[in-house]
Chains A and B, each alone.
Chain A
């Protein structure tokens, strides 16, 4: 039995509370014997107060100024005794110069959110009306860190073996058809784990789950005049805090336990968890935005500022986090370590990651220290690190993101190449070939796992809408259709939007299957957008960031309506898992042969819209033929290995259940060396021993 700590006693009283000089590390609030240690950094503050609140009360319970001698370096640290870590809420008040031209924007009238707040009180229930006059709208709280993880361990799936599934925690189960007991929550998602398992995905990528304010959107519905919420949540308020409004138990402050329980059960099901993290900007916006945290604590440290003290706007949202400032680097690193150590997440997808390699003055760095640090950090060492390798100011680094051998990238070029090929654009066959073997032009030396391949993601059309709309239809976003991408490379198959023309509907289904067949047989890491396996629609809206309604929510009745498509996707995923030849970590070289209509004679000309490829590894052979032409073709098949013959895995021109054969049930061909590929169709063949 160790003796009691000898520093568990106050040395003086402030505002009626016993206190003593605290520990500067760790930052934030930490329960210590008898009290709580508070630590906050500010280089330029002249005075700092700890502001304590009782839950539910508008006015502070107490304000304790940090005595000058409680400051170590630029860190204010104080242990306060007699506080209940379960109920205490707090913030900081900082005083210092207000001199924007020189970077300082102190405002002692504001009570600021702790950047290291482990949870935040204030947005406990999704959509609840905010009290905008409340002092300190986002109040910092502590979290018990003794969750019982049992024997939980990261699944540790090799990156090239992942099938990623991108989803929005709320949107996934919010629709009444989801049938879960707590719709729109972590707990609701946990109830859908059996569905994910059955589908076969082994990694979920969660759109932002760091605390944000869904009311942080100035726009209104142009029809109803109702305010539109920020549904996606790319405007972080608390980087260390799981979003309370996504927790069924958020109103009790138990979001951390609920989220951990979700991760634990996903791991048990063999599914990894990747978080979409937004370190490029914060919810404080530009000069007109609210002072919530960083700005009032140390504006010039946390934000990239122009020589005149204005905000650089590389994120397109008003401000840019100063990621390569040493203090901010530590902040990002500590944050990611926190999510790995405390929440057991398996990786991160970095939103607008090109910003992470900009210097404080905005210049792109060849060797950005933040990225180097993340790549080699001991705690993050086996995490998946995925970059959205561009930003909103034109820095496009797909293929050139400083990866340090660790970062994968959302391969935007894969998306565009597949889309353009499928809609029948000329001169696309050559690039398609490069993309489906893992984009060696972009990732030589980094391997196929550097390429996260996708056709659709949250940003843009769903797969159904990609084949249903030529143009975006974003009027509901209240920006008169100006928002959202214009270069969608989409094709409506003959009519814009819903139609009852059976020919068009059949073609759309085929086009969706074509995209999925290419995606799930390509080298690299396939990423699916949740709901695409059941043809989820956003009615042509390609930017539903503010649509917290049926436009965004997954309608689970589509599962019955589009059972054939769902079966096709599930079978394709199983096929991918069954065949390592599709998942080699190195770019395939000698094991690849290209074909056109005639075996061994690929046609790279601009007018050609057909490509076939055989992947070989050991005795295994898979033949993929993609025909984006509007006419059928008689394909000559290459000879498979001796003693084997081609068997049909999938043909997107066939109706279910003949569109795909489950593993080991692949059928023999009528003619062993020829196959008629239908118009705008994809065919997958597997060489199996001749019986």
Chain B
């Protein structure tokens, strides 16, 4: 079991699409693959549209990525949260740590305005 990681540059923003469940089983590999993608651009969008479930370890991995990014002055934005993922993140307080938007387009729009 693993999480698919696809990344692209778009309008100066790094967009990282994830697919699969983020759990203790998939977290270490995910972290290893996602960290090198972060830090190049001013903003990294993490698209969770194809992530049906994030476990406790998974939430920690996301937060760790967010913190590492912040250290290299990169903002991370989460998009595409399913209702279930948003509910879990909200109930456990993890949502408070992140900048969450509806979609990648919303982020790019925001960047253009700025």
A contact residues vs B (CB 8 Å cutoff) = 84-87, 144, 146, 148, 181-182, 185-187, 190, 247-249, 252-254, 257-258, 260-261, 264-265
Q: Do the beta carbons of B57 and A148 come within 8 Å of each other?
A: no
Q: Do the beta carbons of A144 and B87 come within 8 Å of each other?
A: no
- List chain A residues, Cβ under 8 A from B56: 86, 144, 252-254, 257
Interface stretch of the complex, out of B11-19, B89-97, B105-113 = B89-97
Residue in A85, A87, A144, A247 whose CB lies within 8 Å of B91: A247
- List chain A residues, Cβ under 8 A from B74: none
Cα separation A257 to B92 with both chains bound (whole Å):
5
Cα separation A87 to B26 with both chains bound (whole Å):
13
Cα separation A187 to B90 with both chains bound (whole Å):
8
Cross-chain pairs A/B with CB under 8 angstroms, 12 sampled: A86-B23, A87-B24, A181-B87, A182-B91, A187-B92, A252-B55, A252-B56, A253-B56, A254-B88, A260-B93, A261-B92, A265-B93
Closest 3 CB pairs of A and B: A261-B93, A86-B24, A187-B91
Q: Do the beta carbons of B60 and A254 come within 8 Å of each other?
A: no
Cα separation A144 to B55 with both chains bound (whole Å):
11
- List chain A residues, Cβ under 8 A from B60: 144, 146
B35 at the binding interface (Cβ < 8 Å): no
Nearest CB in chain A: distance from B22 CB, A: 11
B70 at the binding interface (Cβ < 8 Å): no
- List chain B residues, Cβ under 8 A from A182: 87, 91
Cα separation A149 to B97 with both chains bound (whole Å):
11
Q: Do the beta carbons of B88 and A249 come within 8 Å of each other?
A: yes
B25 at the binding interface (Cβ < 8 Å): yes
- List chain B residues, Cβ under 8 A from A258: 91-93
Residue of A nearest to B57 (CB): A86
B63 at the binding interface (Cβ < 8 Å): yes
Residue of A nearest to B55 (CB): A86
Q: Do the beta carbons of B93 and A254 come within 8 Å of each other?
A: no
Cα separation A94 to B60 with both chains bound (whole Å):
36
Nearest CB in chain B: distance from A561 CB, A: 30
Nearest CB in chain B: distance from A563 CB, A: 30
Cα separation A261 to B95 with both chains bound (whole Å):
11
Cα separation A393 to B7 with both chains bound (whole Å):
68
Cα separation A190 to B92 with both chains bound (whole Å):
10
Q: Do the beta carbons of A252 and B97 come within 8 Å of each other?
A: no
Nearest CB in chain A: distance from B2 CB, A: 15
Cα separation A247 to B88 with both chains bound (whole Å):
10
Given contact pairs A249-B91, A253-B55, A254-B91, enumerate 11 new A-B contacts (beta carbons under 8 Å). A86-B57, A144-B57, A144-B60, A181-B90, A187-B92, A190-B93, A252-B88, A257-B92, A257-B94, A258-B92, A261-B91
Cα separation A272 to B57 with both chains bound (whole Å):
28
- Which of B25, B90, B93 is the most central at the interface, judged by chain A CB atoms within 10 Å of its CB? B93
Residue of B nearest to A262 (CB): B93
- B24-37 vs A: 1/0 string, CB under 8 Å? 11000000000000
- List chain B residues, Cβ under 8 A from A187: 90-92
Residue of A nearest to B63 (CB): A148
Interface residues on B, range: 10 to 19
Cα separation A40 to B23 with both chains bound (whole Å):
28
Nearest CB in chain B: distance from A521 CB, A: 37
**B residues 42-98 with Cβ under 8 Å of A?**
53, 55-57, 59-60, 63, 87-88, 90-94, 97
Residue of A nearest to B24 (CB): A86
Cα separation A144 to B56 with both chains bound (whole Å):
8
Cα separation A583 to B36 with both chains bound (whole Å):
58
Nearest CB in chain A: distance from B59 CB, A: 8
- List chain B residues, Cβ under 8 A from A186: 91
Residue of B nearest to A187 (CB): B91
Residue of B nearest to A253 (CB): B56
Cα separation A258 to B63 with both chains bound (whole Å):
16
Residue of B nearest to A247 (CB): B91
- List chain B residues, Cβ under 8 A from A87: 23-24
Q: Do the beta carbons of B93 and A85 come within 8 Å of each other?
A: no
- List chain A residues, Cβ under 8 A from B94: 257
Cα separation A260 to B93 with both chains bound (whole Å):
9
Residue of B nearest to A188 (CB): B91
Nearest CB in chain B: distance from A144 CB, A: 6
- List chain B residues, Cβ under 8 A from A260: 93
- List chain B residues, Cβ under 8 A from A85: 24
- List chain B residues, Cβ under 8 A from A148: 63, 97
Q: Do the beta carbons of B92 and A254 come within 8 Å of each other?
A: yes
- List chain A residues, Cβ under 8 A from B63: 148
Nearest CB in chain B: distance from A419 CB, A: 40
- List chain B residues, Cβ under 8 A from A257: 56, 59, 92-94
Residue of A nearest to B67 (CB): A148
Cα separation A257 to B93 with both chains bound (whole Å):
8
Cα separation A43 to B73 with both chains bound (whole Å):
56
Nearest CB in chain A: distance from B71 CB, A: 15
- List chain B residues, Cβ under 8 A from A264: 93
Cα separation A187 to B97 with both chains bound (whole Å):
16
Residue in A84, A86, A146, A249 whose CB lies within 8 Å of B92: A249
Residue of A nearest to B56 (CB): A254
Cα separation A252 to B84 with both chains bound (whole Å):
11
- List chain A residues, Cβ under 8 A from B24: 84-87
Nearest CB in chain A: distance from B45 CB, A: 22
Cα separation A264 to B7 with both chains bound (whole Å):
35
Cα separation A84 to B27 with both chains bound (whole Å):
12
- List chain A residues, Cβ under 8 A from B92: 187, 249, 254, 257-258, 261
Residue of A nearest to B53 (CB): A252
Nearest CB in chain B: distance from A425 CB, A: 48
Cα separation A247 to B91 with both chains bound (whole Å):
8
Check A248/B91 contact, CB under 8 A, given A86-B56, A144-B56, A144-B60.
yes
- List chain B residues, Cβ under 8 A from A247: 91
Residue of A nearest to B27 (CB): A86
Nearest CB in chain B: distance from A35 CB, A: 14
Cα separation A254 to B59 with both chains bound (whole Å):
10
- List chain A residues, Cβ under 8 A from B91: 182, 185-187, 247-249, 254, 258, 261
- List chain A residues, Cβ under 8 A from B25: 84
Cα separation A252 to B52 with both chains bound (whole Å):
13
Nearest CB in chain A: distance from B65 CB, A: 14
Nearest CB in chain B: distance from A178 CB, A: 15
Residue of A nearest to B92 (CB): A257
Cα separation A265 to B93 with both chains bound (whole Å):
9
Nearest CB in chain B: distance from A145 CB, A: 11
Cα separation A152 to B73 with both chains bound (whole Å):
25
Nearest CB in chain B: distance from A366 CB, A: 45
Cα separation A86 to B91 with both chains bound (whole Å):
19
Nearest CB in chain A: distance from B4 CB, A: 21
